[in-house]
């Protein structure tokens, strides 16, 4: 009850007309914000005249707010010859300082540059969990940060970076951030899906950064080893390619009708045959002679022709070929 009496007395004192002292009437601003490091009477009130620059209190940190008791503010302005008469009773006055948020890109760029210099690496992946980081500085200050200290464990890749915002400022904010770095290597990959047996051309090749720790010993690292080859099993775009999955491009598919030829001593024989397996250029595959139904070992010449291997066992099979 005593507390209510005091509050009511103060409200009456604030709202009551002044009789003894002539004072300038001022009006409280709505949604009060400041940009600088101090809060003045002019920041809070309209009509303060030559008293507007009088400092009331330090401003809060950028992006933060501070709250004053209305009674305390009323006493302060009255002591400076100003008359504040709010239309309705007010208990608290909130003042927010405007601020600018430093973008995550600015932070990551500076830390990455520091890591490049420290580790002497051009290609690496940096994991820095700063999704919830919100660094606010005064609106008039530059949106910059500097890396003041950096420690890196070269075995694990973990690091601790201390940044200062704004960059190189005397009274800036210091924040410690933890992250991890992974060395990378450029690996040749395919731009589009390639089916088994489809030839890989230079125009099909792109490069992708992969963690060194995830690249196996059998992954192709030289693009030259891909050109002119074909995957034994289909390969998706953007995926590293195992060297064991490479072979010569398929020229003839299994079950295809081809010309089976034999050249020997000026004699040229040809007959139609059906391939019993796939094959690339110069591969030796099994082919069925359509006339005799015998199986012949033949070398792939192109997509339309296979040539009988001229060894004695093959000549017996070739005897069924007619001119």
Q: Which CATH architecture is the domain 99-245 placed in?
A: Alpha-Beta Complex (3.90)
The residue among 181, 240, 244 whose CA lies nearest residue 214 is 240
Alpha carbon distance 300, 203 (integer Å) = 26
Q: Can you tell me the distance from the alpha carbon of 308 to that of 315, in angstroms, rounded to the nearest whole number?
A: 8
**Of 185, 176, 175, nearest to 214 (Cα)?**
185
Alpha helices in the chain (DSSP H): 2-15, 41-44, 70-79, 104-119, 312-318
CATH code assigned to 251-318 = 2.30.30.760
CA distances from 134 to 81, 131, 173, 174, 209 (A): 42, 8, 12, 13, 30
Question: What is the CATH architecture assignment of 2-97?
Answer: Sandwich (2.60)
In the chain, list all ranges with CATH 2.30.30.760. Answer: 251-318
Residues of the chain with CATH 3.90.1210.10: 99-245
pLDDT values of the chain reduced to their tens digit, one per residue, 323 residues:
333 333 333 343 444 443 334 567 899 999 999 998 999 999 999 999 999 999 999 999 998 999 999 999 999 999 999 988 887 888 999 999 999 999 999 999 999 999 999 999 989 999 999 888 999 998 888 999 999 999 999 999 999 999 999 999 988 899 999 999 999 999 999 999 999 888 899 999 999 999 999 999 999 999 999 999 999 899 999 999 999 999 888 888 899 999 999 888 778 889 999 999 988 888 899 999 998 999 989 999 998 999 998 654 444 444 454 44
- Say if residues 271 and 291 touch (Cβ distance below 8 Å): yes
């Amino acid at each position: 009850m005593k507390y209510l009496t005091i509050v009511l007395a103060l409200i009456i004192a604030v709202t009551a007309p002044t009789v003894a002292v002539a004072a300038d009437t001022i009006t409280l601003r709505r949604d009060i914000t400041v940009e600088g490091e101090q809060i003045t009477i002019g920041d809070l009130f309209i009509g303060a005249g030559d008293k507007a620059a009088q400092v009331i209190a330090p401003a809060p940190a950028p992006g933060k707010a501070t709250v004053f008791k209305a009674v305390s503010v009323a006493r302060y302005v009255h002591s400076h010859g100003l008359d504040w008469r709010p239309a309705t009773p007010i208990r608290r006055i909130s003042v927010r300082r405007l601020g600018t948020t430093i973008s995550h890109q600015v932070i990551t760029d500076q830390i990455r540059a520091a890591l490049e210099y420290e580790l002497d690496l051009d290609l690496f992946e940096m994991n820095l969990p700063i999704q919830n980081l919100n660094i606010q500085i005064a609106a008039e200050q530059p949106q910059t940060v500097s890396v003041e200290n950096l420690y890196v464990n070269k075995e694990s890749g973990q690091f601790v970076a201390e940044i200062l915002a704004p960059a190189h400022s005397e009274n800036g904010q210091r924040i410690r951030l933890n992250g991890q770095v992974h060395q990378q290597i450029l690996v040749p990959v395919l731009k589009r899906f390639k089916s088994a047996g489809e030839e890989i051309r230079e125009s099909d090749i792109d490069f992708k950064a992969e963690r060194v720790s995830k690249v196996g010993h059998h992954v192709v690292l030289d693009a030259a080893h891909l050109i002119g080859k074909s995957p034994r099993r289909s390969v998706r775009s953007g995926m590293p390619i195992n060297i064991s999955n490479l072979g010569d491009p398929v020229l003839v598919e299994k079950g295809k009708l081809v010309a089976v030829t034999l050249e020997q001593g000026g004699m040229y024989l040809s007959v139609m045959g059906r391939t019993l397996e796939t094959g690339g250029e110069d591969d030796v595959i099994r082919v069925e002679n359509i006339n005799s139904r015998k199986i012949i070992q033949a070398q792939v010449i192109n997509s339309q022709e296979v040539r009988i291997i001229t060894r004695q066992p093959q000549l017996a099979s070739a005897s069924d070929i007619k001119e």
